[in-house]
Amino acid sequence: MTDEIGVLISDFEPLHLGHLRHIMAAVGQVKTLHVVITPSAHPHTDFAITLQDKARWLQMACADLPFVVLHLSQDPIPAYDTKALPTSLSDYQTQITDLYKTLECPAETPLYVTEDSIFAQLDDVHDKEIATAALPFVTLAKTDFDSLAIAANPVAHWSTLHPEARGDYTKTVAIVGGESSGKTTLVHKLVNHYGASYALEMGRLYVGTDLGGSELGLQYSDYAPIALDHAEAMRAATKEALAPVTIIDTDFVTTQAFCEEYEGRTHPFVAACAETFRCDYTIMLDNNTPWVDDGMRSLGDPEARGRFEGRLIEIFARHNITPHVIDEPDYDARYQAAVAFINAHIYQQNDD
């Protein structure tokens, strides 16, 4: 017989496919399932995840399931030592009672237990111990997803993350440099290497879509829409993240450098974007490769290239961004160096 309502509690950090399978199993037994999202007792230091992030993930995942009602709890559910279960249950029931009062749940409301929500290891919890609890527990079947392992290393378990959560677990890497430094080619190499999402250089696209293919009409007022387009491209790339790394062709610092180079003044909106939409890592390519005129480049002589590179470095310092500089003049060596950097900093791999 289907119960009127039930409750399932977890920190959902990160939200993975096993969580949704537990939710789907629980909703098959109740008319309304109250899902309580708690902070993590042990948040991962590499990812800044808020309660609101997790609420958004679940709201999007369950948008077409009106019988799933979400709630936020400001207090993390403590980890449980199943060898001292009665004490743990007592501590837990104090907290859950307060949650029940908030939800106005009747006393017979079942609490759905998963191996990753209430107890660290559900397999260690004996049915007789659950039966002695004051609250009605309903044990959900164990899934093939190891929540503790996923939480400890989301990158290594990327395929298990729910698509709505992946955007908050991918790391953005901007590839920057002066004209003809090989940025865009390197971007496409890295995209293919990692199977990653990416955002293209919006300034170049803007010249094609709004200026007729030439920078002849480029002016100060164009830099704000270029930056706005770039911010949206970054948001779209991370939202649909295909891999733990998302590659960004050029950044707001580079847009600002071109503005200062051509217009002789700083653009405040571009500066605000540089502060607001920061990439996790920046790889800067040295301007020591041959300059190739593709019809849209104008800083080809050594003096201009050196001046622009110095301008980039100064603006990076202005925004407290420390780029990783790759100065190998060989294009393949640059690619190998970029892969080694990403492997070490995002995938925690050493290529030695």
Query: Do 180 and 153 belong to one domain?
Result: no
Query: Do 209 and 235 belong to one domain?
Result: yes
Q: Please give the tally of structural domains in the chain.
A: 2
Query: Do 118 and 217 belong to one domain?
Result: no
Say how far apart CA 75 and CA 38 lie, in whole Å.
6
Does residue 351 fall inside a structural domain? no
Does residue 160 fall inside a structural domain? yes
Say how far apart CA 8 and CA 21 lie, in whole Å.
12
* Run of H or E residues at 20: helix 17-27
Does residue 352 fall inside a structural domain? no
What is the DSSP secondary-structure string of 211-250?
A: STT-GGG--GGGHHHHHHHHHHHHHHHHHT--SSEEEEES
Mean pLDDT per 10-residue segment, the chain (352 residues):
72 93 87 86 92 97 94 69 46 62 66 49 38 58 85 96 98 89 92 98 91 90 96 97 97 95 95 97 84 53 79 96 94 95 93 58
| 50 Cβ contact list (under 8 Å, min separation 6) | none
CATH code for the domain in which residue 221 is found? 3.40.50.300
Query: Do 200 and 268 belong to one domain?
Result: yes
pLDDT at 143: 83
Query: Do 258 and 182 belong to one domain?
Result: yes
Q: Give the other-Cβ count within 10 Å of 86's Cβ.
A: 10
Query: Do 53 and 122 belong to one domain?
Result: yes
Query: Do 129 and 265 belong to one domain?
Result: no
Query: Do 329 and 220 belong to one domain?
Result: yes
AA letter at 288: N
Domain end residue (candidates: 97, 129, 164) = 164
Domain end residue (candidates: 164, 187, 219) = 164
pLDDT at 270: 97
CATH code for the domain in which residue 128 is found? 3.40.50.620
Range of the domain at 286: 170-345
Query: Do 81 and 203 belong to one domain?
Result: no
pLDDT at 128: 39
Domain end residue (candidates: 99, 133, 164) = 164
Query: Do 195 and 150 belong to one domain?
Result: no
Does residue 350 fall inside a structural domain? no
Query: Do 154 and 185 belong to one domain?
Result: no
Query: Do 199 and 157 belong to one domain?
Result: no
- pTM of structure: 0.85
